[in-house]
Each structure stands twice: as C-alpha cells, then as structure tokens.
Chains A and B, each alone.
Chain A
Amino acid sequence: MDIILGYFLYGMSLLTVGGIYALLALGLNVQWGFAGLFNAGIAGFAAIGAYTYAILTTAESKFHYGGLELPLLVGDVMAMVLAGFIAGVIGLICIRLRADYLAIATIGIAEIIKLVLKNESDITNGPRGINKIPRTWEHFSEERFYSSFPLNVINSSDSWQIFFESIARWWWQPFFAGTIILIVLLTYFLLEKLRTSPWGRMMTAIRENEMAAAAAGKDVTRRRIEAFILGALIMGLAGAFLGQHLRLIEPTQTFDPSKMTFLVWVMLIAGGSGNNKGAILGAFLIWFVWSSSELVTNGMIEILASIFDSVDISILKNRAGFIRMLFIGLLLQIILQRYPKGILPEKRPAVSGKI
C-alpha cells in the first residue's frame, strides 16, 4: 500500500512540475512560436514571478521586507503583472532590432534580475532566499489561513485544526497538481482562441514576412511587444507556481539560468514550436525524460560500482547531473537538425469565411 501511495505521490509531483514547465513552454510559444522572438531569459521572468508571489504572500519575517500576507490570488496576479511589465520595458528597447539582440538582452536581463535578488537582501533575503512560501491548498492547513476568511466562516479554528490533523498529510497534493493542470488547460484554450483570431494570424504574418506585414499596414513593433508581454505574463504565473511547489526559493540554484531556460527551449522545440499542443506535450515528455534519467543514471552508477570495485561512486554521482545535461543538449541538436518542426508541427488555422 505504501509503495502504491509512493508512486501516486511521485506521479503527482511529476504532473505538478510538468505542468509548471508546460506553462513556461506555452509562454515561450507565444514569444517564439507565434512571434519569432528569441527569449533567452526565461529563468529571469520565472524568478520575478516567484519572488513577487513570495514577498506578497508569505507571513511576516524578520529577515526581509514583507511578507505582506496578502491573499494568494493577489500574489499570482501581481507575479504576472510584474513579469509582463519588465518584458514591456525590454521589448520597447530591443524589439525593433533583429532576434539576436533580443536574445543577448534577455540573457542580460536575467542576469540583472539575479544580481538584484542576490544583492537587495533587505527585500529578498539575498542568497539565503525566502522560505515557507504558502502553497495553494496546502496553505489551508496553516493556522494563519484557517483562522481567517473564508475558512473561519465555515468552522471554528479549533475544529479546523482537528480536521487537518485527522486527514492524511498529502491531501493537498492531488488538488495542487489538479489546479496547475487546470490552469495549463485554461491557458491552452485561451491561446488557441488567440492563435486563430485575427491577432494570431497577424502574428504569423509578421513572423513569416515582416516587410509584407508592415506594408499591409500592421504595426509590427507594437504587435511584437504585445506577444512578448503576453508570453512573459504566462512565465510569471509559472514562476509563482514554481515558488509554491518549492516553498524555498533562492536566486542562483533555483533559477539556474542555463538549466531552466534551456530545458524550456528543448521542450518547445521537441514538442513543436508554434503549436500549443506541442508545447504542452514537449514539456511533459522532456520533464519525464529529465526526471527519469536521474533514476537511470543512478542505477547505472550502482551497476558500475558493483562491477568495478575501484570506481569512486561519489565522483560519478557528483557528475551524473552533467551527463544528463549533456544528453539533453545533444537531443536538442539532433531535433534541431533532423526534425526542426518537432513532434507536432505547427498547423495554420484554416481559411474560413468569404475570400
């Protein structure tokens, strides 16, 4: 029974993180797939989302500014708003130049965000990070939440305490995973609507032939900035949920720019850039490969160690993560060269109505 429960919870956490990555991939799909904008600072936007959420919603702390103990929903929304705002500023500066410049600038902005998070320790608690970030659903079992609105209307805090102690500790996990999946689906439907709308078609037109689109009277720069901001909004939300999932965020390891940004890129390109379904599929697939490859490499190391006595396991274990990174990188190169359209290639919306 315990084993089944273990697998169930492992599956839940796969769904949770997979869903968060799916959101990031959807956000990147708006920027890259729809509009052809190269964002190399995904981790930076996710970090803004996570930190905004954390500062707004955590309980008061003597280590840093806040927490403001605001409702969780306010945290989620503000995470989106702030990420979108920063994207707007970068967009205004770089979007009229070619994609390479935007790539360089986004890498830069991710670095600057990291610097700010590291150095402004009055606000962000510096390299030690912020912990005890309230997680949606699980937060109800904290006293701060069950003794206040809306739970205190239904029942007294004493009886809530007894209730939460009586149920299994992992009760929130399916709910949390379910919420994230729901948000992924909602985002997917909204983006699909957007893709087939005039705005989406215009984006494709701009991506495919900027000059022709401009000649047809489309405001190219403005549309691109819109797409860039929209993508960043989704990434900010994903960041907020990543913060909730981890509960402890710090500037360097959590938002390792190379690893996180890179994984999302592999996900989108493997799934099929320009295709929202592909972005989601790619995210879950690559996340599954990424997290199961940990089990595989660890197993391999055990086998190697049992065959060769002289092998120092600790060194291998230390470096196994880099071997996985290496393979994911090679995977990207193979997909890029052999299957540049990904698993689910982009489908253009059918021409409808009168021509």
Chain B
Amino acid sequence: MWESFGFEFINFYFIPGLVLGCIYALGAIGITLTFGILRFANFSHGEIMMTSSYLTWEFIMIFTSLGILAHPLIGAIPASICAILLALFVDRFFYKPFRNAPTIMIVIASFGMMLIIRSMVQVIWGPNQLTFVKGIAKPNEYIRDLTASFDFMLLIPNKHFSILIGTVLIMLLFNYLLSSTKIGKGMRAVSDNPDLAKVSGIDVENIIKATWIVGGFCAAAAGVFLAMDTQFIESTMGFRMLLPMFAAAILGGIGRPFGAVAGGLIIGLAEELSAYPWFGDGPVISPGYKSGVAFSIMVLMLIIKPSGLFKGKVF
C-alpha cells in the first residue's frame, strides 16, 4: 500500500501541497484582516510579500559580505521589519486620505500601489529572476531514516520542514494575539462593527496600524517562505500569489483569520493534488492550468456561498 500508492502521494503531492497551503494561509491572513477591518480588497498585499523576499535576499547578501553565514530566516528578520514599515508608509500616504471616501477609491489606490511597488522593486533589483538559495534541496536524512525504519519513508527537505514549523509558530503567536491581548480584541471588535467599536472607546486608527503590522509581518513571512520553497525570486511572484490568497480569504470567509488559514491550506492542497493522476496515468488537470484551480474554487464559492466556509462577511 505504502510502496505503491502512499509514498509517491504523500511525498510528492501532499507535503508540497501542505507547504504551499501554509504560504497561502500566511498571505491570506493579511488579506482577510484588511478586508475585515478596513473593508477593502488590498491588491498590493502580494507586492509586500514580493518586496520582503527581495529585501531578505539583500540582507543575506549584506550579511555574507560581512562574513556572516546567513540563513534566509535570519535575513527575514530585518526584512520583515522593513516590510511592516512599508505597509505602514503605504497606508499613511496612500490609503488614509480615503478613509471616509467610498471604499472603491482605496481599491483603486491599492491597485495603483501594486504597480508602484513592483516597478520600484524592478528599478532597484532589475526585472530578472534572482537565485534565492543555491543548490538542490535534499530531504532531511534524520526524518528519512527514522520514518524508513517504520516502513513509512517521508522525504521532507529541510526547507519544507522549516516552513511548516515556522507557520505553526506564527499561527500560535497570532492566536494568542487575537484571543488574549487588548489589541487583538480591538481588532476583532472593529472587524465586527467599526462604529460600535469607536463609541466603546477603541482607538480605531491604532487598530488599523496594528492590522498593517500583523498583515505586513505575515506577508513578509509568506514571501520569505515562498522564496525558500521555490529557491528563486522574481518581481511577478507577488501577483501570482494574489489570486490564490484572495481565493483562500473568500473560501474561509472574509474577516475570519482562521478561516483564511483553512482556506489557504485547502487551496494549496487542491492546487498540488490537481496534478495527481487520480484517474489513469496522466494528471487530472494539466500542470499548465494549476493556477486556475484556485480561481475555480473561488468562483464556485462565490456562487454557492459567498460568506465562505466559516460564515464570514459579505459586502
């Protein structure tokens, strides 16, 4: 059973799907938070992701030139701070003027920011792909030998291992923030009813700042994890992630961060598993159409249940 079916399925389809799902989930948290709290679809979110992976690359280069051997996750720390600052800067100068305008104005502004941020990255780092991590990712030997002794051989490269662990840690942190801190409770209150939150004495502007900090941090983590997974970075990677992240946010229900996580995992798994030969020999859906899977799920959800799996908001 394991030899004929499970080995290939788990190692080459399920685990990559899970890893991709984690990346989508982290990205979708930011999208669903801004959608829930600021009430607009943030098109520039993918670009924050992309920028943070470029920044990480830059910091790794700086560390290396200083003679420090840097793992991407170490470069990611200053990069995520920069990404948060970028998100706050964009909000202050490009979204804040529209707080009281029809929300569609912010959507247009964020659509413009998408292009501005991408062009900026292209001006600074050039339009070509950059290698993020060199070499072939070998499966973790310890896990391989351990699981092989139980006739259950798992091939997990280190990069996947750190992405999975990293995502779980961020989720735990995020859960603590939302359920146990004042800021998190404020975020949930504003998301439920901004007017009521305001009259109960919550500083909405502060909550909005906190939203960008959390969203920016998750986006940075997602960007770095994606770069670690694919091992290269390019300026269109943010745009490519945008649609699956929106699909995840809608699938989980707008304004439901843990719904977005579930949505992200489902979308990621669905994309990878769509290439599995379920019937016959060939993949069910040709790999060229992989990125269409997320869109189809999103459209289906919009038709059947626009509020998503976990009763999100519908505007």
Contacts and interface: CB of A to CB of B under 8 A. Distances in A.
Interface of A: 36, 38, 40, 93-94, 97-101, 103-105, 107-109, 111-112, 115, 118-119, 258-259, 262, 265, 269, 315, 318-319, 322-323, 325-326, 328-330, 332-333, 336-337, 340
Nearest to B287: A119
B122 A115 contact: no
B282 to A, nearest CB: 14
A131 B120 CA distance: 33
B243 A262 contact: no
Given A103-B41, A104-B41, A322-B123, A38 B243 contact: no
A336 B108 contact: yes
Main secondary structure of the interface of A (DSSP, over half): helix
Contacts of B306: 97, 101
B127 interface: yes
B111 A40 contact: yes
A332 B109 CA distance: 8
| Interface size range of chain B in the complex | 35 or more
16 contacts: A93-B302, A98-B315, A101-B41, A101-B306, A103-B43, A103-B107, A104-B246, A104-B250, A108-B246, A111-B292, A115-B289, A115-B291, A265-B108, A318-B126, A329-B115, A329-B116
Contacts of A40: 43, 111
Nearest to A259: B115
A208 to B, nearest CB: 11
A118 B292 CA distance: 12
A129 to B, nearest CB: 16
Contact of A97 (B108, B243, B291, B314): B314
Interface stretch (B58-66, B76-84, B97-105, B189-197): B97-105
Contacts of B119: 322-323, 325-326, 329
Given A330-B116, A336-B112, A115 B302 contact: no
Contact of A319 (B35, B122, B302): B122
B126 A93 contact: no
Interface in B283-302: 286, 288-289, 291-292, 295, 298-299, 302
B302 A111 contact: no
Main secondary structure of the interface of B (DSSP, over half): helix
Contact of A258 (B109, B115, B291, B302): B115
Nearest to B39: A100
B220 interface: no
A40 B111 CA distance: 9
B242 interface: yes
Contacts of B122: 319, 322, 325
Contact of A111 (B103, B243, B314): B243
Interface in B36-68: 40-41, 43
A54 B289 CA distance: 23
Contact of A100 (B103, B113, B126, B286): B103
Contacts of B295: 108-109, 111-112
B292 A322 contact: no
B289 A326 contact: no
Contacts of A103: 41, 43, 107, 111
B118 interface: yes
B136 interface: no
Contacts of A259: 115
B104 A36 contact: yes
Contacts of A337: 97-98
Interface string B76-95: 00000000000000000010
Given A104-B246, A115-B289, A262 B115 contact: yes
B114 interface: yes
A347 B119 CA distance: 35
Nearest to B242: A107
Contacts of B108: 38, 265, 269, 332, 336
Most chain A CB neighbours (cut-off 10 Å) among B116, B119, B120, B314: B119
